[in-house]
Amino acid sequence: MKMKKRLLDGARLARTIRRLAIEIVERNKGTENLVITGIRSRGVPIAERIVKHIQEAEGVEVPLGILDITLYRDDLTTVAPQPLVKPSHFPCAIENKTVILIDDVLYTGRTVRAALDALIDYGRPRAIQLAALIDRGHRELPIHADFTGQVIPTDRSEVIKVKLQETDGEDEVLLMEK
């Protein structure tokens, strides 16, 4: 894969995540009953940062959940190699909470479909909202984000690579050609 364009540098990426955090609190009229939930793998560090920004702005530590959707994928028997299964974790019951799902790139919507199924096996939230750092289009399911960092129109032959300090050693978003 070769790089075509740098979509976001570290500073813009940081601002985008901070804005998502503020929008989430604003739209929900506060932090009460919120559970910020990162979808593995890169949704998790983004969710951690959102929790940190909310803490800074509101002085409240919102619970952070981690959701692994591997077991709910619809393409398991066709993909090789198998993705590694890691545990999901919630610090509290999600019953009657407002769960904000955090993902790095919203594309076909299949990851979010799997995440909704996975989430409901943990309980019945009052509402589920979706925040995506990048929305690149090409949805295959009727799913849309409630909070979007950046909308970036792409071609199917392109790949969006989100790099984060926590997982990749640096912050940037790249547009790659397959």
Quote the CA–CA distance of 113 and 117 in Å, as a whole number.
Answer: 7
Q: Nearest distance from residue 130's CB to other proteins, in Å?
A: 21
Closer CB to other proteins, 90 or 147, in the complex: 90
Q: Rule CB under 8 A: which of 61-80 touch other proteins? A: 68, 70-72, 76-80
Region from 26-34, 51-59, 116-124, 170-178 binding other proteins, contact rule CB under 8 A: 116-124
Q: Nearest distance from residue 24's CB to other proteins, in Å?
A: 26
Structure tokens at 56: 């800074």
User: What are the two backbone dihedrals, phi and then psi, of residue 16, each rounded to the nearest 5 degrees?
Assistant: -60, -45
| Helical spans, DSSP H, in 2-96 | 10-27, 43-58
Closer CB to other proteins, 11 or 93, in the complex: 93
Quote the CA–CA distance of 148 and 40 in Å, as a whole number.
Answer: 18
Closer CB to other proteins, 43 or 149, in the complex: 43
Judged by CB under 8 A, which of 59, 81, 91, 169 binds other proteins?
A: 81
Half-sphere exposure of 161 (CA within 13 A, CB side): 17
Q: Is the Cβ–Cβ distance between 60 and 87 less than 8 Å? A: no
Judged by the rule CB under 8 A, the positions of this chain that interact with other proteins are 68, 70-72, 76-82, 84-89, 117-118, 121-123
